[in-house]
Amino acid sequence: MFEFLFKYPREDYARSELIFVGHWSAWVLVVIAIIAVIGISVFLYRRHSFVRGYQLAAIWMLQIAMLSLVVWVLAQPTLSTERLRAGENTVALVLDVSESMVFGDAESRFQQALRSLSGVVQADAALNLSVRHYELGETATAVTSFLESQATATSTSIADSLGIVLREARFSPLAAVVLSSDGADTSGGLSVDELAAIAAFGVPVHTVAVGRTAIPEDIEITDITLPDKVLPGSTLSARVSIRHDAPASTQVKVYAGDDLLALVPVELRADAGITTARVEFEIAEAGHHRIHFSVDSVPGETELRNNSRSTLVEVANQKYRILYFEGEPRWEYKFLRRAIGNDDDLQVVSLLRVSPNKFYRQGIDTPEQLESGFPTTREELFAYDALIIGSVEAASLSAEQQVLIRDFVSERGGSLLMIAGPNGLGNGGWGQSEIADVLPLSLPPSSIPSFFRKKASVELTPQGADAQMLRFADTLDANRLSWSELPNVADYQVTGSLKPAAVTLLNVDTDIGQMPLLVTHPFGRGHAWILASGGTWRWQMSLPLEDQRHETFWRQLLRALVASSPQGVSLTAGGGSGDSNIVLRAEFRDEEFRPVDDIGVTAQVSHEDGESWSVNLQASAADPGVFTAEIDPTESGTWYFEAVAHRNDEAVATARASIHYDSGQAEYFNIRRDSAQLRALSEATGGQYLEPQDLDMLPDLLRYSSSGITEQEYRAIWDAPAIFILLLMLKAGEWLLRRRWSTI
Partner 1 sequence: MPKAFRKAFNVLCIAAMFTAVTVWGQANAPDKQAPARAAREAPGEFQFVRLAYAPSQYCGRGYGRQQMWRTDYPDADHHFVRGVDRLTRIAAAEQPRILTPMDNDIYDFPWIYAVEVGYWDLNEKEAGRMREYLLRGGFLMVDDFHGSCEWSAFVASMSKVFPDRPIIEIPESDEAFHVIYDLDQRIQIPSRMFIYSGVTWEKDGYEPHWRGIYDSDGRLMVAINFNMDIGDAWEHADWPDYPENMTALAYRFGINYLVYAMTH
Per-position b or e across 366-379, b if 16+ CB within 10 A of its CB: eeebbeeebbeebe
What distance lies between CA 398 and its chain's CA centroid? Answer: 44
Which residue, 336 or 563, is less far from partner 1 as judged by CB?
Answer: 336
Beta bridge partners, 452, equal 492
- Stretch touching partner 1 by CB under 8 A, among 47-55, 87-95, 336-344, 698-706: 336-344
- Stretch touching partner 1 by CB under 8 A, among 86-94, 206-214, 352-360, 410-418: 352-360
Does an H or E element contain 405, and which? Answer: helix 399-410
Which residue, 321 or 337, is less far from partner 1 as judged by CB?
Answer: 337
Chain positions 400 to 429 lying near partner 1, rule: CB under 8 A, are: 422
Residues 6 or more apart from 528 whose CB is under 8 A from it? Answer: 409, 415, 416, 417, 418, 438, 439, 440, 520, 521
- We find the least distance from the C-beta atom of residue 453 to partner 1, in angstroms, to be 6
Which residue, 352 or 439, is less far from partner 1 as judged by CB?
Answer: 352
- Stretch touching partner 1 by CB under 8 A, among 33-41, 280-288, 367-375, 534-542: 534-542
Inter-residue contact 240 to 221 (CB < 8 Å): yes
- Stretch touching partner 1 by CB under 8 A, among 36-44, 219-227, 292-300, 355-363: 355-363
Query: Which residue type, as a one-letter code, is found at position 317?
Result: N
- Give just the sign of the alpha carbon dihedral 360, 362, 367, 370: negative
Residue 694 has what DSSP assignment?
G
Which residue, 423 or 710, is less far from partner 1 as judged by CB?
Answer: 423
- We find the least distance from the C-beta atom of residue 617 to partner 1, in angstroms, to be 46
327 binds partner 1 (CB under 8 A): yes
- Give just the sign of the alpha carbon dihedral 710, 716, 721, 725: positive
3-state SS, residue 413: coil
- Stretch touching partner 1 by CB under 8 A, among 404-412, 532-540, 713-721, 727-735: 532-540
CA distance to 230, 253, 345, 430, per residue, from 233 (Å):
9, 20, 9, 36
Residues 6 or more apart from 175 whose CB is under 8 A from it? Answer: 84, 89, 90, 91, 129, 203, 702, 705, 707, 708
Which residue, 351 or 518, is less far from partner 1 as judged by CB?
Answer: 351
Chain positions 626 to 645 lying near partner 1, rule: CB under 8 A, are: none
Count of chain residues binding partner 1 (CB under 8 A)? 32
| Helix, strand, coil content of the chain in percent (nearest 5) | 30, 35, 40
Separation of alpha carbons 691 and 427, rounded Å: 69
- Stretch touching partner 1 by CB under 8 A, among 122-130, 199-207, 327-335, 474-482: 327-335
1 binds partner 1 (CB under 8 A): no
Give me the 539-568 binding string for partner 1, x by CB under 8 A, dash otherwise: -xxxxxx-----------------------
- Stretch touching partner 1 by CB under 8 A, among 537-545, 607-615, 663-671, 726-734: 537-545
Separation of alpha carbons 597 and 588, rounded Å: 8
257 binds partner 1 (CB under 8 A): no
- We find the least distance from the C-beta atom of residue 333 to partner 1, in angstroms, to be 7
325 binds partner 1 (CB under 8 A): no
DSSP string, 270-303: TT-SEEEEEEEEE--S-EEEEEEEEEPPPTT---
- We find the least distance from the C-beta atom of residue 354 to partner 1, in angstroms, to be 5
Which residue, 536 or 705, is less far from partner 1 as judged by CB?
Answer: 536
538 binds partner 1 (CB under 8 A): yes
273 binds partner 1 (CB under 8 A): no
Q: For partner 1, which residue of 167, 269, 305, 334 counts as binding (CB under 8 A)?
A: 334
- Stretch touching partner 1 by CB under 8 A, among 150-158, 162-170, 334-342, 599-607: 334-342
- We find the least distance from the C-beta atom of residue 492 to partner 1, in angstroms, to be 14
Separation of alpha carbons 262 and 240, rounded Å: 12
Determine if residue 531 is left, alpha or beta; phi over 0 gives left, psi from -120 to 50 gives alpha, anything else beta.
beta
- We find the least distance from the C-beta atom of residue 390 to partner 1, in angstroms, to be 11
Which residue, 451 or 588, is less far from partner 1 as judged by CB?
Answer: 451
Q: For partner 1, which residue of 300, 356, 500, 513 counts as binding (CB under 8 A)?
A: 356
Intra-chain end-to-end CA distance of the chain, in Å: 36
Q: For partner 1, which residue of 168, 223, 296, 328 counts as binding (CB under 8 A)?
A: 328
Of 74, 77, 73, whose CA–CA distance to 8 is shortest? 77
Give me the 426-465 binding string for partner 1, x by CB under 8 A, dash otherwise: ---------------------------xx-----------
- We find the least distance from the C-beta atom of residue 510 to partner 1, in angstroms, to be 15
Which residue, 349 or 644, is less far from partner 1 as judged by CB?
Answer: 349
42 binds partner 1 (CB under 8 A): no
Laid out side by side, the sheet with 637-647 consists of 569-575, 582-588, 626-631, 612-619, 600-607, 637-647, 650-661
Determine if residue 688 is left, alpha or beta; phi over 0 gives left, psi from -120 to 50 gives alpha, anything else beta.
beta
Does an H or E element contain 322, and which? Answer: strand 320-326
Q: For partner 1, which residue of 355, 366, 447, 742 counts as binding (CB under 8 A)?
A: 355
Residues that bind partner 1 (CB under 8 A): 327-331, 333-335, 337-338, 341-342, 352-356, 358, 360, 362, 422, 453-454, 490, 537-538, 540-545
